[in-house]
Chain A
Amino acid sequence: KQEVTQIPAALSVPEGENLVLNCSFTDSAIYNLQWFRQDPGKGLTSLLLIQSSQREQTSGRLNASLDKSSGRSTLYIAASQPGDSATYLCAVFNAGNMLTFGGGTRLMVKP
């Protein structure tokens, strides 16, 4: 059974810092991995999708990497801003195209 863990569970940083969010999964036989953002009381917004054949994806200040062999993914956020404050969720694609989610990292960026 796939298990996804995100570390840290919560993170508070001053504005402008570069930061790394970690995601690990127990079964390396994943298809793809997707990072989402969830604002309080809101739905999930897709940030980056990494296909199983890729090692990283970039979008603006975000960069996500994937190392299937070690069961790890990282989300790098450059020059953090208060607007980046949210919960970040990592999800791996399993058979049947269903997602297994991590518990999320709650990020607070202070002005």
Chain B
Amino acid sequence: DTAVSQTPKYLVTQMGNDKSIKCEQNLGHDTMYWYKQDSKKFLKIMFSYNNKELIINETVPNRFSPKSPDKAHLNLHINSLELGDSAVYFCASSHLRGGNYGYTFGSGTRLTVV
């Protein structure tokens, strides 16, 4: 199946830990993204990345860092987790000039920090 897949689906961890969420797309898209959906269900961009440029939403703490081993993968690493980081994180991909194709989203990772 052509898709955006992310793992794990659920992640429960303690404050202060470091964790990673993995994302892979097999759609041949050149740009990948991370979005955060908070408790009020509002979705906000965190990062946009292709092999040339990383764009970071200025509101994202530097404890969050994207890591891309290749064009098909964009992992999200989070250091020193805090209670407020609990949310659902969505990976997505598109073509950089995405107008003709739009976005495809993964199914989300529900992160709970205790």
Which positions in A face B, CB cutoff 8 Å? 31-32, 34, 36, 42-46, 49, 51-52, 87, 89, 91, 93, 96-101, 103-104
Contacts and interface: CB of A to CB of B under 8 A. Distances in A.
Contact of A42 (B33, B35, B101, B108): B108
Nearest to A32: B99
Interface of B: 31, 33, 35, 40-45, 48, 55, 90, 92, 94, 96-108
A32 B43 contact: no
Contact of B108 (A43, A89, A93, A104): A43
A46 B94 contact: no
Given A97-B97, A97-B98, 15 more contacts: A34-B102, A42-B108, A43-B105, A44-B92, A45-B105, A46-B104, A49-B102, A52-B99, A89-B43, A96-B48, A97-B96, A98-B55, A99-B35, A99-B43, A99-B103
Contacts, number: 57
12 contacts: A31-B99, A32-B98, A34-B102, A43-B90, A43-B108, A46-B102, A46-B104, A91-B43, A97-B94, A97-B98, A98-B33, A103-B42
